[in-house]
């Protein structure tokens, strides 16, 4: 364990150095991502300028939701997405086997040697927007509500990373996992909007099978006192417990998938 902890900072350091090799290109990519998410937010702003509310949420509330969803996603995905998406390729080519024979946890190696600092663009946009939205929203902040907000953000980050890890780990069993990521992102885009606007089938999926609503409109809605479909008064506690719970599920799933791994190439 101690040996792992000593190596991890070195892995991260090496990866950051390699990513920053082309500094100009790195920051150009970040700018492009900020513009891309900015344009999605601008569309929401244009819509709200004309209609004033969306599912009972006004513009500052939706801005808070958008920034929370983006920040939780980018922090969680930095710990998982690119690394686990590429696991499919490692399995297909047989290079995953070389990780299994290292005297080091394959998961820790994969995640930390690829810790994605590319999400810094998402984080810059989300934090700036969040700073404005927390002031603009009509809400009396207290110590407790601020603590809930931070705890919900951590839980959402863990939940995002856990779901992505579980999807990626299925490549160990089925070799392919990228079409599941396509479904994941289809649902993820919906979570920029309040849960109550969707048909009940989609609401149910977003709380259970692909619980991305728990990383967005459920915690933010619980904070702002919005009615939450299906969960009702349980929305707050459920969003706090969901992250740690899904991490345990993801650990169990990773172990199961590793047990099933047979190798596909080489």
Partner 1 sequence: MSAYTAFARSSFQSQLAYRNEVWANIFGKLVQVFARVAIWLAVYAGVGAATLVNGISLQQMITYALLGGAVMGATRPERVINEIGRSLKTGDISVWLLKPLSYPLYLFANESGSFLYRLLTQVFPTVAFTALFYGMLPPESLFHGAMFVAFWAMSFILLFLMSAFCGLIAFWLMTSFSLDWMFGALLNLFSGLMVPFWFFPEPLATLARHLPFGFVVYYPNAVYLGQLSVTQTWLYLGLGLFWTALFFVGVLWLWRKASTRITVQGG
Total number of residues that touch partner 1 (CB under 8 A): 39
Q: Minimal distance in Å, beta carbon 212 to partner 1?
A: 12
Q: Is 225 exposed, middle or buried (0-12, 13-18, 19+ CB in 10 A)?
A: exposed
Q: Which of 16, 20, 31, 135 binds partner 1 (CB under 8 A)?
A: 31
Q: Which of 13, 14, 20, 36 binds partner 1 (CB under 8 A)?
A: 36
- Contact between 53 and partner 1 by CB under 8 A: the answer reads yes
- Contact between 225 and partner 1 by CB under 8 A: the answer reads no
Nearer of residues 10 and 28 to partner 1, judged by Cβ: 28
Q: How far apart (Å, rounded) are the C-alpha atoms in residues 161 and 164?
A: 5
Nearer of residues 26 and 109 to partner 1, judged by Cβ: 26
- Contact between 35 and partner 1 by CB under 8 A: the answer reads yes
Q: CA separation (Å) from 250 to 105, 180, 190, 255, 258? A: 15, 16, 23, 9, 12
Helices (H), the chain: 2-19, 23-51, 59-78, 81-85, 87-93, 96-100, 106-112, 120-136, 143-169, 171-174, 178-190, 200-207, 217-224, 235-260
Q: Which of 10, 14, 46, 248 binds partner 1 (CB under 8 A)?
A: 46
Could you tell me if 255 and 220 are in contact, meaning their C-beta atoms sit under 8 angstroms apart?
no
Q: Which stretch binds partner 1 (CB under 8 A): 25-33, 146-154, 240-248, 251-259?
A: 25-33
Residue partners of 79: CB distance under 8 A and separation at least 6: 111, 115, 157, 161
- Contact between 204 and partner 1 by CB under 8 A: the answer reads no
* Binding residues for partner 1 restricted to 164-183, rule: CB under 8 A: 176, 179-180, 182-183
- Contact between 202 and partner 1 by CB under 8 A: the answer reads yes
Could you tell me if 108 and 6 are in contact, meaning their C-beta atoms sit under 8 angstroms apart?
no
Q: Which of 55, 108, 120, 244 binds partner 1 (CB under 8 A)?
A: 55
Q: How far apart (Å, rounded) are the C-alpha atoms in residues 156 and 167?
A: 17
Q: How far apart (Å, rounded) are the C-alpha atoms in residues 243 and 250?
A: 10
Q: Minimal distance in Å, beta carbon 134 to partner 1?
A: 24
Q: What is the CA radius of gyration of the chain?
A: 19
Q: CA separation (Å) from 196 to 59, 139, 149? A: 16, 20, 21
Nearer of residues 73 and 193 to partner 1, judged by Cβ: 193
Nearer of residues 13 and 43 to partner 1, judged by Cβ: 43
Q: Which of 3, 23, 50, 102 binds partner 1 (CB under 8 A)?
A: 50
Q: Minimal distance in Å, beta carbon 219 to partner 1?
A: 20
Binding footprint of partner 1 on the chain (CB under 8 A): 22, 25, 28-29, 31-33, 35-36, 38-40, 42-43, 46-47, 49-56, 176, 179-180, 182-183, 186-187, 189-190, 193-194, 197-199, 202
């Amino acid at each position: 364990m101690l040996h792992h902890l000593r190596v991890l900072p070195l892995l991260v350091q090496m990866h950051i150095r390699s990513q920053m090799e082309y500094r100009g290109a790195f920051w150009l990519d970040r700018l492009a991502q900020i513009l891309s998410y900015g344009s999605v937010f601008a569309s929401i702003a244009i819509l709200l300028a004309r209609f004033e509310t969306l599912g009972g949420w006004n513009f500052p509330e939706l801005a808070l939701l958008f920034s929370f969803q983006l920040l939780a996603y980018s922090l969680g995905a930095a710990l998982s997405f690119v690394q686990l998406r590429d696991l499919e390729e490692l399995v297909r080519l047989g290079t995953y086997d070389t990780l299994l024979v290292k005297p080091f946890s394959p998961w820790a190696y994969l995640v930390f040697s690829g810790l994605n600092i590319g999400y810094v663009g998402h984080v810059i946009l989300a934090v700036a927007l969040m700073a404005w939205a927390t002031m603009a929203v009509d809400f009396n902040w207290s110590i407790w509500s601020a603590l809930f907000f931070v705890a919900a953000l951590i839980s959402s980050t863990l939940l995002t990373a856990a779901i992505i890890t579980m999807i990626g780990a299925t490549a160990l069993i089925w070799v392919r996992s990228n079409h599941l990521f396509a479904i994941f992102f289809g649902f993820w885009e919906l979570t920029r909007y309040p849960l109550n606007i969707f048909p009940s089938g989609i609401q149910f999926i977003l709380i259970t099978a692909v619980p991305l609503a728990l990383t967005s409109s459920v915690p933010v809605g619980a904070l702002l006192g919005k009615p939450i479909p299906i969960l009702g008064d349980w929305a707050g506690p459920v969003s706090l417990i969901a992250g740690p719970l899904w991490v345990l599920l993801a650990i169990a799933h990773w172990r199961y998938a590793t047990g099933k791994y047979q190798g596909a190439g080489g």
